[in-house]
C-alpha cells in the first residue's frame, strides 16, 4: 500500500470507497483485511491481575458484529487492532443463563422507574488467546440458496463477512467484592451454560459454538462424509458446518410445504430455525446446530491437469442439534422427536454440502473419473456405528414407503401441536414434498459397484433416450429435479438392534417431475420396466 494512502477501514463509507459491499473486485476486500492484520498488534491484550479468566475453544468460525455496515458483518476491533467480543454482549448472554436471584446479585436490577442497583460482576469480554487468529482466512462467504434450490426463484447471491477461524478466546470477569473460590466456580458454571448457545452472530448456523453442549443439545449424531468443499474468496477450500443447518432447514420447509400452505410452512420453519420476518426483524429460532469435526482432511481434486476443486474427507464428526430457548420438558421432547426425524430424513434421501443431490462418483462410479478429464461430482454421508439408531431399517424395499409416511406423520403432529391447518393442495414450489409433486423410486444394490442410475446421468438409459443435460438432471446455473442417493442398508430383526447389512445399499431416486417436460415423462415411463420400484408419490 502507498504510504500516503488512507487504509480502507478509515475511508468514507460510500460507493467505491471504504464499504466492502460496494467493492467490485475481491482484491479490495482482501486489501481491507491485509491492512487490518498488518497494523494489528502481535501480542494479545492482557487482562488486569484482578480479572478472572477462562479459555474456550470455538469449533468453527466466530463472528463479532461491529454494526458499522448494513450489508456486511465487520468485526469489533479493540485497542491495538485485536478482534474483540464486547463485555456488554458477554453480560447479556450471562444474564440470560442466570436464575432471578443470580441475575440480581451478579448483573444488577431495576429498583424503581429511574434507579438501578448494579450487580457485583464486571464483564470484560474476550480476546483471541494469541496472534494466530490472523493466520487463517478471515473473509467468509455466506451464500443463501434456499429460494433458488427449493422454490422457483433464480436469484441468489453471495455475501461477505469477516470471521475468525477456530479461535481460542480468553474471557474475563471481575468482581467489585471479594468472592470465595466456590462462588467463582458457580459464576463460571453460569458462563459455561451461557456460551453453549453460542456467542456473536449466526450462532444457530454453527458460528461461535464451543465444543461442549451438555445443557442445550437435543440430539447428538456421529457422522462421516466426503464430497466437494466450499470455496472461500481466495479459492481455498473449507469445510463449513453451516451446511448442516442449511440442509436441515431446507428439508423442514420441503416437508411442511407438503402438508400445509406455503405461508404456514414458511412461518413454522422460521419458528424452528430462525430467519428474517420483514418489518418485524429477525426471528430467533428454537433449533440450532453445532458441529465438531474430530477427524477431517481437506484435499484437492484435479482434472484437465490444472483445474482444482477442493474436497473434504471427514472420517468422524459430532453433530449436535441444539435447543436455543428455554422450554418445558414436554415441549422439548416433541421438538427432539421432530428434529430427529428431519435429520434421519435428510440422510435417507441426500446429504450435506455442495453437490449433495448426487452420489460421490469416486465411490460409486470411479471409471467416470479415471481419465482425469472429468470434474468431481457428488457427496456421500453415513452415520457412524455409535449412531446406528438414526438409520431407518430397511428389511424390505417397500419399507421406504412406511418410513416416509412416518416422517410425514411426525411433521403433521407438529402442525397439530401448533394449531395449524393441514392442506391437501400441492405447493407451487419445485421441491415441495407432496405426493402430487414428488416420486421416490428405489432398489437394493449389492455393493458400491452396483449403482444402476449413476450411468443414466452420463449416458443413454435406453436406446437413444437420455436425461443428460435435461431439466431433470439440471446443468450449470440450473437446479435439476432429481436426487440420487446410495443409502447404506441397515436392518433390524424383531429382537435385535439396527445393524449394517453387509455391503448393500438402498439406491434411491427422488424426482420432482416437470409434467410439461417430454424427456422427464419418457424417463418416468421407463422406470417401471427397470429394477426400480415406485415407493412413494403419485
The reply to whether 389 falls in a domain is yes
Quote the pLDDT of residue 532. 98
The reply to whether 8 falls in a domain is no
Burial (0-12, 13-18, 19+ Cβ within 10 Å), 278: exposed
Residues 330 and 473 in one domain: yes
Residues 51 and 155 in one domain: yes
Residues 424 and 457 in one domain: yes
- φ, ψ (nearest 5 deg) of residue 413: -60, -35
Give me the half-sphere count of Cα atoms (radius 13 Å) on the Cβ side of residue 509: 28
Q: For the chain, give the number of residues.
A: 538
Residues 196 and 259 in one domain: no
Q: Is 161 helix (H, G, I), strand (E, B) or coil?
A: strand
Beta bridge partners of 297: 313
Quote the pLDDT of residue 15. 55
The reply to whether 509 falls in a domain is yes
Strand locations in 143-277, DSSP E? 159-162, 164-165, 168-175, 217-228, 230-231, 237-238, 275-276
Residue of 510, 502, 504, 506 whose CA lies nearest to 527: 510
Domain end residue (candidates: 153, 170, 205): 205
Quote the pLDDT of residue 533. 98
**Tens digit of pLDDT per residue, the chain (538 long)?**
555 565 666 565 555 544 554 444 556 678 878 888 888 878 888 999 999 999 999 999 999 876 655 556 778 888 788 899 999 999 999 999 999 999 999 999 877 777 888 999 999 999 999 989 999 889 887 766 666 566 666 555 566 788 999 999 999 999 999 999 999 999 999 999 999 999 998 898 899 999 999 999 999 999 999 999 998 888 889 999 999 999 999 999 999 999 999 999 999 999 999 986 555 557 789 999 999 999 999 999 999 989 999 999 999 999 999 999 999 999 999 999 999 999 999 999 999 999 999 999 999 999 999 999 999 999 999 999 999 999 999 999 999 999 999 999 999 999 999 999 899 889 999 999 999 999 999 999 999 999 999 999 999 999 999 999 899 998 777 889 999 999 999 999 988 899 998 899 999 999 999 999 999 999 999 999 999 999 999 8
Residues 171 and 222 in one domain: no
Cell of 363: 465411490
The reply to whether 15 falls in a domain is no
Domain count, the chain: 2
Quote the pLDDT of residue 193. 95
Residues 325 and 437 in one domain: yes
Quote the pLDDT of residue 37. 87
Residues 181 and 303 in one domain: no
Within 10 angstroms of residue 378's Cβ, the number of other Cβ atoms is: 25
Cell of 295: 477427524
Residues 176 and 265 in one domain: no
Residues 349 and 485 in one domain: yes
Quote the pLDDT of residue 24. 45
What SS3 string covers 471-511?
CCCCECCECCCEEEEEEEEEECCCCCCCEEEEEEEEEEEEE
The reply to whether 504 falls in a domain is yes
Cell of 200: 456473536
Q: Which helix (H) or strand (E) holds 441?
A: strand 439-445
Residues 309 and 403 in one domain: yes
Quote the pLDDT of residue 148. 53
Quote the pLDDT of residue 146. 61
pTM of the model: 0.90
The reply to whether 1 falls in a domain is no
Residue of 251, 260, 264, 254 whose CA lies nearest to 425: 260
Domain end residue (candidates: 180, 205, 230): 205
Where helices occur in 71-197 by DSSP H, the ranges are 87-96, 100-102, 146-150, 181-195
Quote the pLDDT of residue 44. 87
The reply to whether 351 falls in a domain is yes
Residues 194 and 268 in one domain: no
Region of residue 353 (left: phi > 0; alpha: psi -120 to 50; beta: else): left
Q: Is 335 helix (H, G, I), strand (E, B) or coil?
A: helix
Show the domain range for 157: 40-205
Q: How far apart are CA 365 and CA 377, in angstroms?
A: 10
Residues 151 and 233 in one domain: no
| Residues 95, 57 contacting (CB under 8 angstroms) | no
Question: In angstroms, what is the C-alpha Rg of the chain?
Answer: 25
Domain end residue (candidates: 144, 170, 205): 205
Q: Is 434 helix (H, G, I), strand (E, B) or coil?
A: coil
| Residues 408, 259 contacting (CB under 8 angstroms) | yes
Within 10 angstroms of residue 135's Cβ, the number of other Cβ atoms is: 10
Amino acid at each position: 500500500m502507498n504510504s500516503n494512502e488512507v487504509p480502507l477501514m478509515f475511508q468514507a463509507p460510500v460507493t467505491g470507497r471504504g464499504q466492502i459491499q460496494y467493492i467490485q473486485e475481491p482484491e479490495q476486500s482482501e486489501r481491507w483485511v491485509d491492512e487490518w492484520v498488518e497494523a494489528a498488534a502481535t501480542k494479545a491484550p492482557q487482562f488486569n491481575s484482578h480479572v478472572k479468566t477462562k479459555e474456550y475453544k470455538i469449533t468453527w468460525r466466530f463472528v463479532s458484529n461491529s454494526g458499522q455496515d448494513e450489508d456486511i458483518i465487520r468485526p469489533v476491533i479493540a485497542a491495538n487492532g485485536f478482534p474483540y467480543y464486547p463485555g456488554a454482549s458477554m453480560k447479556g448472554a450471562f444474564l440470560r443463563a442466570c436464575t432471578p436471584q443470580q441475575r440480581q446479585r451478579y448483573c444488577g436490577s431495576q429498583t424503581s422507574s429511574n434507579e438501578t442497583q448494579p450487580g457485583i460482576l464486571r464483564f470484560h469480554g474476550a480476546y483471541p488467546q494469541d496472534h494466530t487468529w490472523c493466520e487463517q482466512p478471515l473473509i467468509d462467504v455466506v451464500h443463501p440458496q434456499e429460494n433458488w434450490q427449493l422454490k422457483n426463484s433464480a436469484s441468489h447471491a453471495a455475501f461477505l463477512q469477516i470471521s475468525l477461524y477456530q479461535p481460542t478466546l480468553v474471557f474475563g470477569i471481575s468482581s467489585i467484592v471479594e468472592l470465595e473460590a466456590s462462588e467463582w466456580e458457580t459464576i463460571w458454571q453460569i458462563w459455561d451454560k451461557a456460551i453453549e448457545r453460542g456467542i456473536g452472530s449466526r450462532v444457530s448456523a454453527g458460528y461461535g459454538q464451543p465444543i461442549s453442549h451438555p445443557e442445550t443439545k437435543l440430539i447428538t449424531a456421529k457422522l462421516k462424509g466426503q464430497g466437494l468443499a466450499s470455496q472461500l474468496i481466495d479459492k481455498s477450500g473449507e469445510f463449513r458446518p453451516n451446511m448442516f443447518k442449511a440442509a436441515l432447514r431446507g428439508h423442514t420447509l420441503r416437508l411442511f410445504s407438503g402438508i400445509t400452505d406455503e405461508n404456514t410452512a414458511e412461518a413454522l420453519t422460521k419458528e424452528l430455525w430462525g430467519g428474517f420476518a420483514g418489518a418485524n426483524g429477525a426471528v430467533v429460532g428454537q433449533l440450532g446446530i453445532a458441529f465438531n469435526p474430530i477427524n477431517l482432511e481437506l484435499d484437492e481434486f484435479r482434472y484437465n491437469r490444472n483445474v482444482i476443486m477442493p474436497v473434504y474427507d471427514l472420517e468422524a464428526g459430532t453433530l449436535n442439534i441444539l435447543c436455543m430457548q428455554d422450554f418445558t420438558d414436554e415441549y422439548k421432547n416433541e421438538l427432539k422427536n421432530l428434529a430427529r426425524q428431519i435429520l434421519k430424513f435428510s440422510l435417507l434421501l441426500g446429504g450435506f454440502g455442495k453437490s449433495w443431490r448426487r452420489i460421490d462418483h469416486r465411490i460409486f462410479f470411479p471409471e467416470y473419473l479415471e481419465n482425469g478429464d472429468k470434474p468431481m461430482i457428488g457427496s456421500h454421508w453415513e452415520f457412524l456405528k455409535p449412531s446406528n439408531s438414526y438409520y431407518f431399517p430397511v428389511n424390505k424395499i417397500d419399507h421406504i414407503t412406511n418410513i416416509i409416511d412416518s416422517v410425514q406423520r411426525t411433521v403433521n403432529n407438529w402442525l397439530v401441536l401448533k394449531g395449524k391447518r393441514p392442506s391437501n393442495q400441492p405447493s407451487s414450489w419445485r421441491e415441495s414434498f407432496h405426493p402430487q409433486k414428488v416420486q421416490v423410486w428405489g432398489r437394493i444394490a449389492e455393493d458400491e459397484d452396483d449403482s444402476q442410475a449413476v450411468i443414466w446421468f452420463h449416458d443413454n438409459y435406453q436406446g437413444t433416450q437420455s436425461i443428460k443435460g435435461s431439466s431433470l438432471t439440471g446443468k450449470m446455473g440450473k437446479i435439476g429435479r432429481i436426487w440420487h442417493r446410495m443409502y447404506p442398508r441397515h436392518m433390524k430383526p424383531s429382537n435385535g438392534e439396527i445393524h449394517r447389512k453387509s455391503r448393500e445399499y438402498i439406491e434411491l431416486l427422488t424426482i420432482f417431475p416437470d409434467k410439461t417436460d417430454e424427456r422427464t415423462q419418457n424417463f418416468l415411463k421407463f422406470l417401471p420396466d427397470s429394477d426400480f420400484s415406485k415407493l412413494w408419490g403419485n
